[in-house]
Amino acid sequence: MTRHEIITGHVMSFTEDPFSIAPTASVTWHEALLIRDGTIIATGDLDTLRQQAPSATLTRHDGCLICPGFIDAHVHYPQTAIIASWGARLIDWLERYTFPEEMRFADPAHAAAAADRYLDLTLAHGTTTVSSFCTSHAASVDAFFTAAQARGLRAAAGKTCMDRNAPPALCDTAQSAYDDSAALIARWHGVDRLCYVITPRFAPTSSADQLAALGALWANHPDCLMQTHLSEQIEEIAWVAELFPKARDYLDVYETFGLLGDRALFGHAIHLTAREASRLSQSGAALIHCPTSNSFIGSGLFDIGRRLAEGQRIGLATDTGGGSSFSMLRTMAAAYEIGQLTGTVLHPAQLLWLATAGSARALHMGDRIGTIAPGMEADLVVLDLASTPAIATRHARADDIWDAIFPTIMMGDDRAIRDLRIMGQPLRAG
C-alpha cells in the first residue's frame, strides 16, 4: 500500500554548498514536505502538497526545524562504554581504555548488546547514518550491521585491522585481515542500505604487509570506502616516522600501500604538511573533522578555513568514544568553537551542512541522503528550537531563522529531537 505523509515545519533544503556562496543563499526554505514510501517526493507550501496528495496523512511540526538526519562520518561504536574516560593522550588512551574494552568484543553477545545500545543512543540524538570502526573481531562487524539493518539505517562500517603494537588478543595478520574483510564485504556490502568500509586502524598498528594486503583488497573492491586515522597527535606522527623511515610523511605511508583515493576517509588530519594537504586535495579524499575529540584528547586545532581554501572535502564526526558526545549538535558547537580559535567563523548553515550534506558527500552517499529534495531517501530529524528553558529564552529574542537555530546548535542536546524518520518511518525500537 502506498504511504503518503506531509510534514510541516521549517523545511531546510540546501541548494548550494554554503562554503561556495553566501551561506544564507545556500538554503531554500519550504513550509512542508511530502513523503511517499520512504522517499521525499516534493517540498513546497502546504496547500500545493495537499492538492498533490489529498490522501496523505498530515504531521504538523510548525516552528520546528526539519533537516536531513545527521550523518556522523567517523565513530567507534565499541567505545560507547568508555566515552569520557579521564586523563590520557592518544596512545596511552588506546592502551588504558580502548584496547581492554575492545577485547570484550570477542563475545558476540557483548558486541550485539553494544551495537544496539550505541545505535539507540545515536538515533536519540538525531543521527541517522554513521561510519563506524568496529573491533578486529569479524563478529563485531556482524553485530553492528545486524543492528543497523534491523533499524533500516543507511550505515557504513568495517573490521578494524591491527597486526602489531596492540594486545595479542586483538591482533590479526595481514592474511586474516584480508580474508575476514573480504568475507564481510561479501556478506554485507550493498545489502539493504549497508556499505562496507575497509578499515586499518592507523599506520602504527598495521605492518607494511597488512597495509599492502588492505590496499590490494580495496583495489579489488573499489566501490568500498576506506577509513583510517591520519596525523591526529604530534607523538603519533613521530611514531609513524620511526616505524616507516622510508615514507616521505604520514600520508605517504597510506599512499605507498594503495590506501589513498577519493573514497578514502581520514579521521582528524590535523597536523598536515603542505605536501600532504596538496596530495589530499588532488586525490579527492575526505578529511573528517572530529572537534570534540580533538579538544578532549588534546590533539590540536583543525584549521577548517585553511582546509576549505585548499579545496578539501570535509566531513564532520563525533569520533565517539575519543569524542566526548554522541550529539552532532554538540559536535557542530565544537566545530564552531574551534573555528573561532583558528579564525574562521562558521555560519549555522555551514555547521548544519557539515553535519548533513557535507558528511554525506564525504561518504559518497550524497545522491541518497543529506539533503531534503525530491528523490532523496526520507531520513529526517525534526528539531524543537526551544527545547530547554535556556534555549527558549534565547530563541524568543531571535530576529531571523538563523538566529532562531543557532542557540540549539550551541546548547541543544537529545531533548531537541522532536521527531526522527528513517525512510519516512518513525523510529522503531531496536
Q: Which residues bind Zn ion (CB under 5 A)?
A: 267, 319
Euclidean distance between CA atoms 99 and 135, whole angstroms: 9
CA separation for the pair 155, 421 (Å, rounded): 15
Q: What is the nearest approach in angstroms of Zn ion to the Cβ of residue 236?
A: 12
* Least CB distance to Zn ion at residue 72 (A): 11
Please give the distance of CA 113 from its chain centroid, rounded to a whole number.
21
The nearest distance, CB 321 to Zn ion, in angstroms, is 9
Pairing label, strands 4-14, 27-36: antiparallel
| Residue among 23 and 323 whose Cβ is closer to Zn ion | 323
Q: Which is nearer to Zn ion, 26 or 227 (CB)?
A: 227
Closer CB to Zn ion, 94 or 376, in the complex: 94
Task: Kindly tell me which of 296 and 406 has the beta carbon lying closer to Zn ion.
Answer: 296
Cβ at position 291, least distance to Zn ion in Å: 13
Residue 129 grid cell: 547514518
Distance CA 195, CA 6 (A): 30
CB 64 to Zn ion: min, Å: 32
- Shortest distance (Å) from residue 197 CB to Zn ion: 12
What cell does 405 get?
537555530
Q: Please state, as a whole number, how many other Cβ atoms lie within 10 Å of the Cβ of residue 56.
A: 20
Count of all residues that appear for the chain in the document: 430
Percentages of the chain per state (helix, strand, coil), in multiples of 5: 45, 25, 35
Whether 369 and 360 have beta carbons less than 8 Å apart is answered as yes
CB of 319 to Zn ion, least distance (A): 5
Give start and end residues of each alpha helix (H) in 328-368. 328-341, 348-353, 359-362
**Given the complex with Zn ion, which of 207 and 233 has the nearer CB atom?**
233
**In terms of CB distance, is 14 or 133 closer to Zn ion?**
133
| Nearer to Zn ion among residue 9 and residue 267 (C-beta) | 267
Instruction: Judge residue 246's burial from the number of C-beta atoms within 10 Å of its C-beta, 0-12 exposed, 13-18 middle, 19 or more buried.
Output: exposed
**Closest distance to Zn ion from the beta carbon of 322 (Å):** 6
- Provide the minimum distance between the beta carbon of 123 and Zn ion in the complex, in angstroms, as a whole number: 20
Which stretch of DSSP H or E encloses residue 63? strand 57-68
| Cβ distance to Zn ion smaller for residue 93 or 257 | 93
* DSSP structure class, residue 354: I
Q: Are 236 and 89 in contact (CB under 8 A)?
A: no
Cα–Cα separations (whole angstroms), residue 242 to 16, 260, 299, 322: 44, 21, 20, 24
Please give the Cα distance from 33 to 46 (Å, whole number): 8
Nearer Cβ to Zn ion, position 19 or 296? Answer: 296
Question: How near is the Cβ of 352 to Zn ion at its closest, in Å?
Answer: 23
Say how far apart CA 370 and CA 391 lie, in whole Å: 26
Burial class (CB in 10 A: 0-12, 13-18, 19+), 399: exposed
DSSP 127-172: EEEEEEE--SSHHHHHHHHHHHHHTT--EEEE-EE--SSS-GGG--
Q: Which is nearer to Zn ion, 101 or 319 (CB)?
A: 319
Closest CB 153 distance from Zn ion, rounded Å: 20
Q: Which is nearer to Zn ion, 211 or 410 (CB)?
A: 211
